[in-house]
Amino acid sequence: MTSWVWWYALPLAGGAIGISIWAGPNLAVALPAAIVAVIAVLLLVWAAIGQRTRHVSSAAAAFDTNPMERLQAAFRTGAIGRSLVIAELDGLDRSLRHDSSLGVSPHAEQNLLRASEEDFRRYVRNRLQELEKDS
């Protein structure tokens, strides 16, 4: 969530709620404070919904990108994205060779997922070189 919303709207909402409770039956004070509190809470809800929709749309956009962009995004996720990196390389291999039988076996994929970072990078480098030769 946007940090300014937390730093301004949340204390504003809390303070306005406190003032409206403190004012009690004095509507001249309680009503404006309650209105400010409602506006601040609506701002917080709007920011929370906006944050969620931004994440959903960015995740959905990942499927619309080209394979190299998806491969870069998978590298940014670190060790968690290794299976995605392997899948993207398999997809590139299949699309270049027009052969659906190509790909890493499940046993080989498990070995790659457990490999050191240096070994995994070496595998990716070799695989990309093979793809460049075939294209």
**Tens digit of pLDDT for each residue in 84-97?**
888 888 888 887 77
- Stretch 10-18: mean pLDDT: 89
How confident is the model at residue 15, as a pLDDT?
A: 92
One-character DSSP codes across the chain: --HHIIIIIHHHHHHHHHHHHHHTT-HHHHHHHHHHHHHHHHHHHHHHHHHHHHHHHHHHHTTTS-HHHHHHHHHHTGGGGHHHHHHHHHHHHHHHHT-TT-S--HHHHHHHHHS-HHHHHHHHHHHHHHHHHH-
pLDDT per residue over 40-74, tens digit each?
888 888 877 776 655 544 445 555 567 778 778 88
Supply the pLDDT for residue 109: 86
